[in-house]
Amino acid sequence: MLLNKFGNADNTKNMLTECCIGDKLQLSSVYKTLVQPANEVAWAKTIWDGFLYPKHSFLLWLACHARLLTKDRLCRMGILSTNQIQCVLCNGHQLETRDHISFECQFSAKIWNMLMDWLRYRWRSCVWRLILNWYSHNLRGQGPMQKLKRMCLSIAVYMIWKERNQRIFHAKERQPIQIFRDIKFVVFSKVQNDDIHVHMKEILESL
């Protein structure tokens, strides 16, 4: 692999020498040399904000890559048949796709609209592509409100996906208002237990 990448043994030795500090080989330097850095996607800062819960960021990352195992995707993988891919959140009126479940479904749209009302969004949409584009270009800052809105997006996607799984695997259902309250509870718990984001606490107290 190394010879194929660097052409010959001498080039490979030179590369390894450059990756040494003293007489120790730095594996991290070798990795960076071997793996070309990928271009950062526009929505990277939306999902990898250090203030977010890792499990929420990971699920949001899957959603951004359209890798959630929605019924539509499972059907394309040959795991489900075409008559099994209706959305369980809106009682089967639409096909369960990534875009539908986030937030075009009338069930998830109610939750997202309640969040937008609560956080006083100046711009409104329930179309996944537009939401992601807006977050990527208009909410890239490190201010407390931007961080709060990024957190609410990640929690909302996580909670809606969790509700979808609860309905499928445990036959348990909740209403949008209950999920909205759970999202607020997670937000308050995170902010109130973090001594760093004092201004975010002030924003929550004013909402």
- Of 178, 100, 192, 115, nearest to 149 by C-alpha is 115
Spatial contact of 52 and 70, defined as CB atoms under 8 Å apart: no
Task: Pull the structure tokens for residue 3.
Answer: 């010879």
Spatial contact of 160 and 102, defined as CB atoms under 8 Å apart: yes
Judged against a pLDDT cut of 50, whether residue 55 lies above it is answered with yes
Tell me the pLDDT band of 3, cut-offs 50, 70 and 90: very low
Counting beta carbons within 10 angstroms of the beta carbon of residue 94, is it exposed (0 to 12), middle (13 to 18) or buried (19 or more)?
Answer: middle
| Cα–Cα distance for residue pair 145/25, rounded to 1 Å | 44
- Which DSSP string do the residues of 110-168 spell out, in sequence order? HHHHHHHHHTT-SS----HHHHHHHHHHHS-S-SHHHHHHHHHHHHHHHHHHHHHHHHH
> Across all residues in the chain, what is the average pLDDT?
88
pTM of the model: 0.81
Counting beta carbons within 10 angstroms of the beta carbon of residue 184, is it exposed (0 to 12), middle (13 to 18) or buried (19 or more)?
Answer: middle
Helix (H, G, I), strand (E, B) or coil at 35: coil
The top-scoring range by mean pLDDT among 20-24, 44-48, 148-152, 200-204 is 148-152
Q: Which residue has the higher pLDDT, 61 or 205?
A: 61
Tell me the pLDDT band of 36, cut-offs 50, 70 and 90: low
pLDDT of residue 47: 92
Task: Pull the structure tokens for residue 195.
Answer: 């001594």
pLDDT tens sequence across 138-177 = 988 889 999 999 999 999 999 999 999 999 999 999 999 9
| Cα–Cα distance for residue pair 188/191, rounded to 1 Å | 5
Spatial contact of 89 and 160, defined as CB atoms under 8 Å apart: yes
Spatial contact of 172 and 178, defined as CB atoms under 8 Å apart: no
| Cα–Cα distance for residue pair 39/41, rounded to 1 Å | 6
Judged against a pLDDT cut of 70, whether residue 106 lies above it is answered with yes
Judged against a pLDDT cut of 50, whether residue 1 lies above it is answered with no
